[in-house]
């Protein structure tokens, strides 16, 4: 099942979509990666969900990736005596460590890290920014604030501290247990929430030990201050506009989105743009025109993948949301201006491998070239090629199923599992067979072959060959 588009679709699974039949429908509609959100549900739920993805993979006959999204250290309020409270602008409000139910004069925030990070004049945002507090005094276990924007609050709403780095571990005990479970279940990618510093990713990499790809969710402004160091330690990133949009002014979010997409593309890291892409389709069969433009904008920027959250996890129209995103992406990629925008935005490097990959992209521009066959063990050759944004599709041919599944996230790569190759003379035959089998190459078309010798050894691509499909 070949998709007529380069950008990929990530669909979040939840109560509305984790049934095996529905997962298969989502894959048939165009989903490439399935996100399992460990903020909700039990491990037993997640095990059934992952099994459903594996069954769907067999049904559509192409590799599908499972992305385990760890909850991370989400900071939340305590409880209220009446379950709810309304705050008014101008009133005083104390935050403290007490676990007794709160009221309109004080709220429990059982997180010492919050008070360690606070500064006089800093702002505290509650419930995704609906309530805004300004700190006028603080200590190790309390903060006196003035309400600048009031609203109704209920138990356990989220807390954000814009422009402050919170000394809190990136991986909670729950995350560690969920990570061990996810790796045992054979997930392909692991996403770390609320990354603030490079050491957060270093800790995740140490625990994963190469058993899955590691992905940094950029949703804290603090992460932007050490972005290069974070990118050094991850294999993909997600522009998580939900929490990022809480702590940044609305006009800043699209600027930072473009900055993050560009930074990932320069390094050849897959980048996902996420949150509220087709939000209205949670309860409507069609999106707003603004949402369609938002999806299109991310495609024009060159994002590797776009993600659906509530639209597929809890919405009334999960399959329709995936199909709509597929249609928008496909239409954008038919725009005559789209190819020029896909030109890679990075300086020419002297490395032989990158020069050869650049030559493959250049050679693929010939009208007679149908596709590029990239033979890869770890996936790096296919990812280097995706970095170049070749307009012809890339066949990512690998003997490793885990590699093929990870490549389901990569821009323009059609991953396929092949038998291990030992004789270099078999490269052309297998490349042509796969190009014909997938329907990417018609009779008499040219197939470019990119590979590295010795075969089966991880390393840089060092050969570029041409082959032709048989003429009828």
Angle (CA) 419 422 427, round 5° = 75
Instruction: Reply yes or no on whether 94 is catalytic.
Output: no
Instruction: Reply yes or no on whether 35 is catalytic.
Output: yes
What the block records as the tokens of 199 is: 């050491």
Question: What is the structure's pLDDT at 272?
Answer: 98
Q: What is the pLDDT of residues 343-370, one digit of tens each?
A: 766 555 555 567 888 888 888 888 889 9
The residues with which 272 forms a beta bridge, in sequence order, are 238, 305
Q: What residues have CB less than 8 Å from 447, skipping those under 6 apart?
A: 369, 370, 371, 372, 373, 431, 432, 435, 441, 466, 467, 468, 469
Q: State the average pLDDT over residues 142-167.
A: 90
Cα distances (Å, whole numbers) of residue 472 to 368, 437, 442, 443, 469: 16, 15, 10, 6, 9
Instruction: Reply yes or no on whether 12 is catalytic.
Output: no
Question: What is the structure's pLDDT at 345?
Answer: 65
Q: What is the pLDDT of residues 56-69, one digit of tens each?
A: 999 999 999 999 99
Average pLDDT, the chain: 93
Question: What is the structure's pLDDT at 353?
Answer: 63
Considering 5, 6, 18, 35, which one is annotated as catalytic? Answer: 35
Whether 374 shows a pLDDT value over 70: the answer reads yes
Q: What residues have CB less than 8 Å from 193, skipping those under 6 apart?
A: 69, 70, 71, 72, 73, 74, 217, 219, 240
| CA separation for the pair 230, 234 (Å, rounded) | 7
Considering 54, 76, 94, 176, which one is annotated as catalytic? Answer: 76
H or E stretch covering 276: none
Q: What is the pLDDT of residues 61-102, one digit of tens each?
A: 999 999 999 998 888 899 999 889 999 999 999 999 998 999
Q: State the average pLDDT over residues 278-292.
A: 97
Query: What SS3 class is residue 231?
Result: helix
| CA separation for the pair 77, 317 (Å, rounded) | 32
Considering 12, 275, 282, 369, which one is annotated as catalytic? Answer: 275
Considering 8, 24, 217, 406, which one is annotated as catalytic? Answer: 217
CB 20, CB 50: distance < 8 Å: no
Backbone angles phi, psi at 311, to 5 degrees: -55, -40
pLDDT band at 283 (very low <50, low <70, confident <90, very high): very high
Cα distances (Å, whole numbers) of residue 178 to 170, 196, 217, 241, 309: 14, 20, 17, 24, 20
| CA separation for the pair 214, 265 (Å, rounded) | 17
Question: What is the structure's pLDDT at 351?
Answer: 57
Q: State the average pLDDT over residues 417-424.
A: 92
The residues with which 468 forms a beta bridge, in sequence order, are 446
Q: What is the pLDDT of residues 32-48, one digit of tens each?
A: 999 999 998 999 999 99
Q: State the average pLDDT over residues 300-327.
A: 97
Instruction: Reply yes or no on whether 76 is catalytic.
Output: yes
Angle (CA) 415 417 422, round 5° = 120
């Amino acid at each position: 099942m070949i998709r007529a588009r380069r950008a990929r679709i990530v669909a979040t699974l939840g109560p509305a979509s984790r049934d095996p039949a529905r997962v298969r429908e989502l894959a048939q509609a165009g989903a490439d990666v399935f996100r399992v959100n460990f903020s909700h549900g039990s491990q037993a739920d997640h095990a059934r969900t992952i099994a459903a993805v594996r069954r769907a993979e067999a049904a559509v006959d192409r590799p599908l990736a499972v992305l385990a999204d760890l909850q991370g250290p989400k900071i939340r309020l305590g409880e209220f005596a009446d379950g709810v409270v309304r705050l008014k602008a101008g009133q005083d409000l104390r935050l403290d460590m007490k676990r007794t139910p709160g009221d309109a004069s004080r709220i429990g925030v059982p997180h010492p890290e919050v008070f360690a990070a606070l500064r006089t004049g800093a702002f505290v945002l509650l419930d995704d920014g609906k309530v805004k507090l300004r700190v006028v005094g603080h200590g190790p276990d309390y903060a006196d604030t003035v309400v600048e924007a009031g609203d109704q609050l209920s138990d356990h709403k989220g807390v954000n501290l814009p422009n402050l780095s919170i000394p809190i571990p990136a991986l909670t005990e729950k995350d560690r247990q969920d990570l061990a479970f996810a790796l045992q279940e054979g997930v392909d990618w692991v996403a770390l929430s609320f990354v603030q510093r490079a050491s957060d990713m270093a800790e995740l990499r140490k625990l994963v030990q190469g058993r899955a790809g590691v992905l940094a969710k950029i949703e804290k402004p603090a992460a932007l201050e050490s972005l290069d160091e974070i990118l050094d330690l991850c294999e993909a990133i997600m522009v998580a506009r939900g929490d990022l949009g809480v702590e940044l002014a609305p006009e800043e979010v699209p600027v930072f989105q473009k900055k993050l997409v560009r930074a990932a593309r320069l390094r050849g890291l897959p980048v996902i743009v996420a949150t509220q892409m087709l939000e209205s389709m949670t309860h409507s069969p069609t999106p707003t025109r603004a949402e369609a433009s938002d999806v299109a904008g991310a495609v024009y920027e060159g994002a590797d993948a776009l993600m659906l959250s509530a639209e597929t996890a809890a919405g009334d129209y999960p399959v329709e949301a995936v199909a709509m995103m597929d249609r928008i992406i496909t239409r954008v990629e038919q725009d005559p201006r789209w190819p020029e925008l896909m030109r890679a935005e990075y300086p020419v490097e002297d490395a032989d491998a990158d020069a050869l990959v650049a030559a493959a992209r250049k050679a693929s521009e010939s009208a007679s070239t149908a596709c590029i066959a990239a033979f890869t063990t770890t996936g790096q050759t296919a990812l280097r090629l995706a970095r170049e944004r070749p307009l012809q599709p890339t066949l990512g041919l690998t003997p490793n199923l885990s590699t093929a599944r990870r490549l389901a996230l990569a821009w323009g790569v059609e991953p396929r599992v092949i038998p291990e190759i030992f004789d270099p003379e078999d490269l052309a035959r297998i490349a042509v067979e796969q190009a014909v089998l997938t329907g990417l190459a018609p009779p008499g078309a040219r197939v470019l072959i990119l590979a590295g010798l010795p075969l089966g050894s991880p390393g840089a691509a060092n050969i570029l060959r041409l082959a032709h499909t048989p003429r009828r």
